[in-house]
Amino acid sequence: MPTTGARKAKQVLPKSATIVIQHQVPRPNGMVEVSPEGGRVHFENKDKDDYRLRLRKPKSDPNTGLDLFLPAGGRVTVLIKKDDEFDYSIMGIGVIVAADGHGGGPIRN
């Protein structure tokens, strides 16, 4: 029986994945993994509200990281390279504290 690492090595990761935001809640909200060769994670906002998408390294302070604008009815694409891994929060535009948002992740290769 193959080990977990051997099983993962045989898996073909998708080139892209989409995380859909509805009522400020990401779906799926768990781990999303894409190929390190040009992999993309799309965040698609189905709401009529703009959001702040905060990306940060796992185990880092949730109030740090990079904030991106996720427009109402729009999308943001994050390019993933080998060994990238990010947790994220979906927050209102005026919100600064990540605990006031809805989180998920990690997104990774």
Q: Over the stretch 6-56, which tens digit does the pLDDT of each residue have?
A: 555 567 999 999 999 999 999 999 999 999 998 999 999 999 999 999 999
CATH number, domain at 26?
A: 2.60.40.420
For residue 102, the enclosing domain spans 4-108
A 10 A CB-CB count for 35 gives 17
Q: What is the three-class DSSP state of 7?
A: helix
Please give the average per-residue pLDDT across 100-109, as a whole number. Answer: 92
User: In 1-109, where do the E strands start and end?
Assistant: 16-22, 25-27, 32-33, 39-45, 51-56, 66-70, 75-80, 85-92, 102-108
Domain count, the chain: 1
